[in-house]
Amino acid sequence: MPVMSIYPAQEVTAPGLSCQINPSGHFSCHSSHITQVLLITTDPDQLLIHQMALEMTTSWTVLTANSPSEALELARSAKPDVILWDFELMPSSLDLLTSLRANAETTLIPIIILLERVRLFDQHYFASLGVAGIIGKPFDVANLNQCIENFL
């Protein structure tokens, strides 16, 4: 049986770092330089799971897009600190990646992709396209924020 605390969540901040202890005693830290994430996926279930995981473990604002055109528009207008992309290998995905890297407003936004199977070739290929990192599936959604921060 889990032990529940009667104490409220506590947050501790230091320059460049914010840590939180929630009522169940779990401790998490994240870099405070990330304030906004653009989450891209066409799968509504994955969108909800990843969005909830990030919102529950960080103070980040999570913007969501479920199409390449919506993702490009949000990246241009909101200028998120990082793009987290549940990547599907299809022509529209590669077009979006090329557009994000070619556009002066979005070229410096780090892109981290979620990929079903990560091979050495994938790491080299996506690095050559300007992707900051790859998170292989399956992964622990409770630690998704830490995975993102490891690439930044």
Residues 24 and 52 in one domain: no
Using the Cα atoms of residue 123, residue 101, residue 141 and residue 42 in order, give the sign of their dihedral: negative
Q: Are residues 55 and 89 in the same domain?
A: yes
- Clarify whether residues 84 and 126 are in a common domain: yes
Do 83 and 140 sit in the same domain of this protein?
yes
Residues 25 and 68 in one domain: no
- Domain identity same for 10 and 69: no
**pLDDT given for residue 49 in this prediction:** 93
Closest CA to 151 of 103, 52, 81, 47: 81
What pLDDT is stored for residue 14 in this prediction? 43
Q: What's the pLDDT score for residue 6?
A: 42
| 78 and 135 share one domain | yes
Residues 66 and 140 reside in one and the same domain: yes
Identify the pLDDT of residue 11: 46
Same domain, 48 and 116: yes
One DSSP character per residue, the chain reads -----SSPPEEEEETTEEEEE-TTS-EEEEETT--EEEEE-S-HHHHHHHHHHHHHH---EEEEESSHHHHHHHHHHH--SEEEEE---SHHHHHHHHHHHHSTTTTTS-EEEEESS--HHHHHHHHHTT--EEEESS--GGGHHHHHHHT-
> Percent of the chain beyond pLDDT 90?
47
Q: Token pair 């998704």 is at which residue? A: 144
| Regions in the chain scoring below 50 on pLDDT | 1-16
Q: Rounded to whole angstroms, how far apart are CA atoms 53 and 145?
A: 8
pLDDT at site 89 = 72
Q: What is the CATH number of the domain that holds 43?
A: 3.40.50.2300
Q: Which domain holds residue 93?
A: 33-150
Rg (CA), the chain: 16
Same structural domain, 10 and 42: no
Residues 19 and 68 in one domain: no
Q: What is the pLDDT of residue 7?
A: 40
Judgement on whether residues 80 and 106 belong to the same structural domain of the protein = yes
**Counted domains in the chain:** 2
